[in-house]
């Protein structure tokens, strides 16, 4: 059926990722601003010599629902576009979708994508 | 010839008056500058309270100055060089014109601005937790018992007709623009008040990082600008000494900015914006007493050292566990002490017109005088401030309650908030009470807005 590809990436990579997905013919995606941390555990700021640990780093979350067959290609394109090679590049994961409905027409399943 | 001589003297007096009027306005501007310097360093929920403590000081001290402050500081000595008399209460006799002399009103206005900013400086030590009402009471009492007498000690010079304070005259310590009376005085008071009020909830574990660094830099810039009035104005004339004080102020401040950043780069690996602002202020503080005693090369040395020393000194509060919120001790007390003491080493008679420091062949005597003056003011201010703060805390309470402190002192005490990030979306406000604009639905106008609790 369909898959949901979710990616948490560095905010400045959003435009690159959007371009890569458009090139694959992906019609739409959802973007949210989120905060969190992974293995690098935030970052450190210094004020008059006092160090503050900032736990949550700003990230962008992208969600895109795609056809099963396209999912692998979308993941590859997304990872390639979002990668800088430095710590904190983010994560991508794929989950199954049980049902999709287009609100305007009531279409269901792959037709609704 | 006599006519010509008189005309020249009148022109000179007029030029001095013009400069001192301008300098007075510059020094007043320092206090709003301080408000922003301090305000940016607090958290977003208490920036208004921080700014208000500076503006409140302007109100209280200006009123007291006219009533008795100027008299206590600058009337003829009334008691062993410790305090002025009551002859100039209500600025009596001050507004009289004396032809050919600098109008005393202008001198009085200039010195008023010093009193204001000295009081305002203290507020940085108790950011985020002081009741505004208690602060206003403190400001009035502290100015009366601590500042006005100390200003007499340091700033009231003997003349043919008048007798002044003990530090300026009997002791002969050098303090050109107020390293002792302003910075050691305020810094020592800040330490005492920080001890009376105690630590902020969550300090030092939680984040108390500055909420707006551009505001801090703007405030520091205004302070720097106003400080030319503070230091060069202290020559009380538009003359060469004012020029020396001006250039010394500039180069010492620039050097201290660099000194602070060098320490940061080595210690923390980053030269920071807050460090640049703090270094500049540390330099301004340290050069204040010395700007009429050292030459410009001395000012550079003084500045670099002051920046570095103060950068290290702001860490003292973590080591000793006192919550001096915005480092009044690390910057003003330490910077003021350093600037006052180093006069004993770097003073040169080409600038002072008499006194030499140790490095210029003057021996240890000037250093000794500087130390007596500095530690006398430090001790007097600390003890008296602790007592005043303690009494206010035990009677009306100096600190806001825990809930107000956590939720934000701006809304809790002042019924205002500095920033509205979400207006028009998730939070809608309704006008309740007060002067509602025409056309407001009557049903939305209810009685009594929620009163600020204090």
Say whether A46 and B268 touch across the interface (CB within 8 A). yes
- Round to whole Å and give the CA distance between B55 and B170: 36
What is the DSSP code (8-state) at residue B29? Answer: H
B427: pLDDT strictly greater than 60? no
Residue B448 lies in a domain: no
Average pLDDT score over residue span B280-287? 98
- Domain interval for residue B184: 7-80+100-395
Point out the least confidently predicted range of A37-41, B15-19, B58-62, B269-273.
Answer: A37-41
A49/B210 touch (CB, cutoff 8 Å), yes or no: no
- Give per-residue pLDDT as tens, B432-445: 766 655 555 544 44
Question: Region A13-33: what's the mean pLDDT?
Answer: 93
The minimum CA-CA distance between A49 and chain B, rounded to whole Å, is 7
Chain B touched by A47 (CB under 8 Å): yes
- pLDDT on residue B454: 44
Whether A46 and B278 lie within 8 Å, measured CB to CB: no
Sole residue written with tokens 């920071």? B272
Under DSSP, is residue A107 helix (H, G, I), strand (E, B) or coil? coil
Q: Model confidence over B135-163: pLDDT tens digits?
A: 999 999 999 999 999 999 999 999 988 89
DSSP of B344-403: HHH--HHHHSS---GGGT-TTHHHHHHHHHHHHHHHHHHHHHHHHHHHHHHHT-SB--HH
pLDDT of residue B50: 97
Listed residue (B111, B48, B34, B67) closest to B412, CA to CA: B48
Asked if residue B425 is part of any domain, the answer here is no
CA distances from B142 to A3, A74, B132, B185, B274 (A): 71, 70, 15, 11, 30
At A53 the three-state DSSP class reads strand
**B438: in domain:** no
Q: Are B186 and B138 in contact (CB under 8 A)?
A: no
Residue of A47, A51, A54 with shortest CB distance to B274 = A47
Report yes or no: A46 at the B interface, CB cutoff 8 Å.
yes
ipTM comes to 0.75
pLDDT at B422: 65
Q: Of A7, A16, A10, A12, give the one whose Cα is nearest residue A81.
A: A16
In this prediction, residues B290-299 reach a mean pLDDT of: 97
Query: What is the maximal distance between C-alpha atoms in chain B?
Result: 82
Per-state percent for chain B, helix, strand, coil, to nearest 5: 70, 0, 30
Q: What is the pTM of this model?
A: 0.86
Contacting residues of B for A48, CB less than 8 Å apart: 272, 274-275, 278, 311, 314, 327, 330
Q: Where do the domains of chain A lie?
A: 2-98
Q: Identify the closest residue of chain A to B211 by CA–CA distance.
A: A47
Report percent pLDDT > 70 for chain B: 93
CB contact under 8 A, B314 and A45: no
Name the CATH code of domain A2-98 (choices 3.40.190.10, 2.40.110.10, 3.10.310.30, 3.30.70.120).
3.30.70.120
Cα–Cα distance between A74 and A6 in angstroms, integer? 10
Query: Which site among B209, B307, B330 would you substitute to test the A interface, given the most A Cβ atoms closer than 10 Å to its Cβ?
Result: B209
Tell me whether residues A46 and B264 touch, CB distance under 8 A.
Answer: yes
User: Cβ–Cβ of A49/B314 closer than 8 Å?
Assistant: yes
Contact B267 A47 (CB under 8 A): no
pLDDT mean over B289-294: 97
The total number of structural domains in chain B stands at 1
Average pLDDT, chain B: 92
Q: How far is CA B6 from CA B3, B13, B107, in A?
A: 5, 11, 22
* Chain B residue set in contact with A, beta carbons under 8 Å: 204, 207, 209-210, 264, 267-268, 270, 272, 274-275, 278, 311, 314-315, 318, 327, 330
Report the residue of chain A nearest B213, measured CA to CA. A47
- Tell if the CB–CB gap between A47 and B318 is shorter than 8 Å: no
Give the minimum alpha-carbon distance from B214 to chain A in angstroms, rounded to a whole number.
14
For residue B204, the chain A residues in CB contact (below 8 A) are 50
* Closest residue on chain B to A49 (Cα): B268
For residue range B169-201, what is the model confidence (pLDDT) as tens digits? 999 999 999 999 999 999 999 999 999 999 999
What angle (nearest 5°) sits at the alpha carbon of residue B54, between those of residues B53 and B59?
95
Over residues B299-348, the pLDDT tens digits come to 999 999 999 999 999 999 999 999 999 999 999 999 999 999 999 999 99
Average pLDDT over residues B386-409: 95
Q: How far is B298 from chain A (nearest CA, A)?
A: 26
CATH at B216: 1.10.3430.10
pLDDT of residue B448: 44
d(CA B200, CA B41): 14
Domain membership flag for residue B435: no
DSSP B190-205: HHHHHHHH-PPTTTTT
């Amino acid at each position: 059926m369909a898959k949901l590809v979710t990616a948490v990436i560095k905010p400045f990579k959003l435009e690159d990722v959007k371009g890569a997905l458009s090139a694959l013919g992906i019609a739409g995606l959802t973007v949210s601003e989120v905060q969190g941390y992974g293995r690098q555990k935030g970052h450190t700021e210094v004020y008059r010599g006092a160090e503050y640990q900032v736990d949550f780093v700003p990230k962008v979350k992208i969600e895109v629902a795609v056809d099963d067959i396209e999912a692998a290609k979308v993941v590859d394109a997304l990872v390639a576009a979002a990668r800088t090679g430095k710590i904190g590049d983010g994560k991508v994961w794929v989950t199954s979708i049980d049902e999709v409905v287009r609100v305007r027409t009531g279409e269901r399943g792959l037709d609704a994508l | 010839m006599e006519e010509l001589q008189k005309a020249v003297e009148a022109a000179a007096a007029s030029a001095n008056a013009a400069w001192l009027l301008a300098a007075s306005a510059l020094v007043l501007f320092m206090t709003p500058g301080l408000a922003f310097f301090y305000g940016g360093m607090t958290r977003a929920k208490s920036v208004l309270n921080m700014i208000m403590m500076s503006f409140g000081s302007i109100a209280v001290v200006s009123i007291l100055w006219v009533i008795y402050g100027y008299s206590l500081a600058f009337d003829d000595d009334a008691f062993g060089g410790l305090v002025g008399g009551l002859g100039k209460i209500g600025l009596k006799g001050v507004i009289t014109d004396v032809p050919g002399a600098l109008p005393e009103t202008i001198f009085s206005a200039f010195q008023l601005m010093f009193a204001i900013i000295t009081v305002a400086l203290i507020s940085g030590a108790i950011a985020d937790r002081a009741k505004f009402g208690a602060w206003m009471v403190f400001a009035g009492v502290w100015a009366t018992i601590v500042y006005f007498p100390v200003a007499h000690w340091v700033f009231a010079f003997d003349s043919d007709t008048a007798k002044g304070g003990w530090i300026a005259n009997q002791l002969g310590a050098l303090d050109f623009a107020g390293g002792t009376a302003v910075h050691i005085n305020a810094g020592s008071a800040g330490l005492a008040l920080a001890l009376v009020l105690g630590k902020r909830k969550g300090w030092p574990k939680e984040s108390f990082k500055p909420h707006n660094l551009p505001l801090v830099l703007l405030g520091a810039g205004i302070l720097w600008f106003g400080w030319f009035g503070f230091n060069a104005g202290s020559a009380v004339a538009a003359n060469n000494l004012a020029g020396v004080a001006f250039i010394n102020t500039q180069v010492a401040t620039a050097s201290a900015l660099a000194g602070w950043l060098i320490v940061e780069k080595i210690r923390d690996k980053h030269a920071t914006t807050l460090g640049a602002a703090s270094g500049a202020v540390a330099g301004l503080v340290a050069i204040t007493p010395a700007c009429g005693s050292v030459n410009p090369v001395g000012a550079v040395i003084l500045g670099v050292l002051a920046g570095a020393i103060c950068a290290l000194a702001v860490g003292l509060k973590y080591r000793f566990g006192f919550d001096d919120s915005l480092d009044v001790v690390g910057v003003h007390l330490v910077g003021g002490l350093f600037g006052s003491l180093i006069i004993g080493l770097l003073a040169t008679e080409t600038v002072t017109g008499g006194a030499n420091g140790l490095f210029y062949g003057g021996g240890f005597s000037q250093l000794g005088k500087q130390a007596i003056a500095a530690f006398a003011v430090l001790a007097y201010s600390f003890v008296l401030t602790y007592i005043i703060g303690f009494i206010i805390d035990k009677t009306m309470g100096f600190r806001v309650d825990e809930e107000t402190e956590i939720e934000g002192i701006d809304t809790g005490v002042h019924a205002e908030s500095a920033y509205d990030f979400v207006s028009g979306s998730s939070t809608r406000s309704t006008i309740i009470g007060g002067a509602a604009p025409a056309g407001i639905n009557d049903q939305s106008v209810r009685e009594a807005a929620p009163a600020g609790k204090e």
